[in-house]
A and B are shown apart, each in its own frame.
Chain A
Amino acid sequence: MILSLRNINKSYDEGKMEVPVLFDISLDVEEGEYVAIMGPSGSGKSTLMNIIGCLDVATSGEYILDGENIEGKTDNEMSDIRNKTIGFVFQNFNLLPRETALENVALPMLYGGVPRSERLARAEEALKKVGLEDRMNFLPTQLSGGQKQRVAIARAIVNKPKLLLADEPTGALDTASGLQVMEIFKELNEKEGMTIVMITHEKEIADHAKRQMVIRDGRLLQGRDIG
């Protein structure tokens, strides 16, 4: 089991009022699974994503990631977990505009204390995996949307994380580029056995995953295997 959520509740303090966002969510993901969580905007899927990604903590409930209980971790410990265990792919790529593709991919290793020469070598390797070895020294502005997202994927996998967490990875892409991204995900999942949790509101995209579930009004409605 790579991640296990037990009775997770999350609510935000909005002044005097407490706004509940997630209700009693329980979810188990095995190592090597490819899971899609679907939901319309405002359903709480981003909040769930933040909790799974250790960017936020639940108000109550238990979250165990890679055998570690996340509750009560310090800020620095959370940073380490994000750095080593999780790879993020965002809807809008979030590349550093002034750095080359190679430097962007090498960035997470900077925070893991990897020496520069090794950082660059591993970044190069990751870019090869997403088919961008000929674009290594391009700036993000010189790349197409699909290429940018592939750079972002390379950055997410460069630290060989146990869990790849993707938030609307095709949301800003045309259909062809979106399919290309899905191809890469499939390859990572099947060939490297990487666990993928993907959030999307598009059914066609969710269909690429092996397991789908829906979140609506803060509740995880169904979980069915489509393997």
Chain B
Amino acid sequence: MTENIRISFRGIWSHKMRSFLTMLGIIIGIAAIIAIVSTIKGTNEQIKNNLIGDGTNTVVVNLSENDWEAEFSSGDIHEGIKPLDEDIRQDILDADGVESVSFYNSRNWADSVYYLGTSIDSASIYGIDRYYLDTAGLKLTEGRGLSEKEFQGKVKAALIDENLRTAVFGDTDPVGKTIEINSEPFTIVGIVDKDSQFEPVINTIEDYYMYQGDERGAIYITDTSWPIAFRYDEPKKAIVKAKNTDSMTVAGKNAEEILNATLKLPEGMNISYKAVDLTDQAAQLQSLTASTNAMLIGIASISLLVGGIGVMNIMMVSVTERTREIGLKKALGAKKKAILLQFLTEAILLSLIGGIFGVAAGLILSKIISIIAAIPVAISVPAILVAVGFSMLVGVIFGFAPSYKASNLNPIDALRYE
């Protein structure tokens, strides 16, 4: 076998140009497939990160009414909606896929926040418990966190995030400054920022709106001081951190179930807890890109087929050229199998080398695509292995007919061939 490989290498090498041109079809086919698969994978990971994972793997579970987020800033709150306590939090914590849980209140686009008489009307306000920062993936960058004393004593203290600091305070140090929330003064004690390295890739206007909320800035106060500024009986939401991106759906559903079990609502009242899960939406987007790219792979496969026919063609030529050699080898005692294997080895090697060049070209191509089109690409190792294996298979399939022809040559005719 090693002898076959050595002889095949010599054969391929002695016709460098011809061998390269033969490989070209395979190189192009494999390169196209690698580039497409890398792009699909990259796009999918981008969707997964941007849309679902947000880099923190958190799922928000809130009350919804007729599929919309229920609004409780005014009006009656049904007594069947029970307040969320520590026991419920523990139940969720024990559920599958859940890493941590926090309960909180929030207002987006609060219009009642002022700093030095200027309205900060685009900020979000959160009334948080002790677990919120860890669960939501926030870390303190300056000052201190909310202390146990502040939680228990309903102290009007607040944390702000980096975006609000930039937007409102500029270069001045916000720690120690006072902001007004619904005319109540809250003292800023610290600044928080997202813990993860997550940087959303913004390609489209939809992406922009998705991350815009974060850009506006947020204020965090204790959930105990929340009723000072807002209504005291406002139902809380839950934020659940999943163990990983894949278990987000499970964690969200489990939290949803446990929370819904606390509801004692009459028939016909369409209020329930819902996990805001973007997995389905992401899967749809992913399948959309996958189906367009499946078509591209089909086209690339045709190129591979053409490449295979090229290999078959050149092997046929090679067999004819080497008719005398085949005759001689048979006269020297080579069996049919030995001749078959020799030519098959050459065909496989030819397509395998083409496949390896194709993988290299595909990786370079993916890199270029990612730079030019700003699409992230992810190198798929299984795809590379399959591509290399597939190119070998092309060699076997298209090399068999010429090799079989060679092995069945009559040695007398072959020796006489001019």
A5 at the interface (CB under 8 A from B): no
For A86-117 the 0/1 string (1 means CB < 8 A from B) is 00101000101011000000011011100010
- A116: chain B residues within 8 A (beta carbon): 2-3
Q: A90-B415, A94-B415, A98-B11 are in contact. Are A80 and B333 (CB under 8 A)?
A: yes
Q: Chain B: which residue is nearest A158 at the CB level?
A: B332
B331 at the interface (CB under 8 A from A): yes
Stretch at the interface among A48-56, A171-179, A187-195: A48-56
Q: Is the CB of B332 within 8 A of A96?
A: no
Stretch at the interface among B188-196, B231-239, B334-342: B334-342
For the A-B complex with A55-B331, A80-B333, A111-B333 known, give 6 more contacts whose Cβ atoms are closer than 8 Å. A75-B336, A79-B330, A82-B332, A96-B325, A98-B11, A111-B334
- A94: chain B residues within 8 A (beta carbon): 324, 327-328, 415
- B contact set with A: CB distance below 8 Å: 2-3, 10-11, 14, 324-325, 327-336, 338, 411-412, 415
Give 8 closest A-B pairs by Cβ, nearest first.
A83-B333, A111-B333, A108-B332, A94-B328, A79-B335, A82-B333, A111-B334, A55-B411
Rounded to whole Å, the gap between the CB of B64 and the closest CB of chain A is 76
A135 at the interface (CB under 8 A from B): no
- B331: chain A residues within 8 A (beta carbon): 53, 55, 82, 88
Q: Is the CB of B333 within 8 A of A84?
A: yes
Q: Is the CB of B330 within 8 A of A110?
A: no
Q: A55-B411, A107-B329 are in contact. Are A98 and B335 (CB under 8 A)?
A: no
Q: A94-B328, A110-B3 are in contact. Are A76 and B412 (CB under 8 A)?
A: no
- A96: chain B residues within 8 A (beta carbon): 325, 328
- A155: chain B residues within 8 A (beta carbon): 332
Q: Is the CB of A76 within 8 A of B336?
A: yes
Rounded to whole Å, the gap between the CB of A137 and the closest CB of chain B is 14
Rounded to whole Å, the gap between the CB of B223 and the closest CB of chain A is 80
Cα separation A80 to B335 with both chains bound (whole Å): 8
Rounded to whole Å, the gap between the CB of A21 and the closest CB of chain B is 12
A and B contact pairs by CB, cutoff 8 A, 9 listed: A50-B412, A79-B335, A90-B415, A94-B327, A107-B332, A111-B329, A111-B333, A111-B334, A155-B332
- B3: chain A residues within 8 A (beta carbon): 110, 116
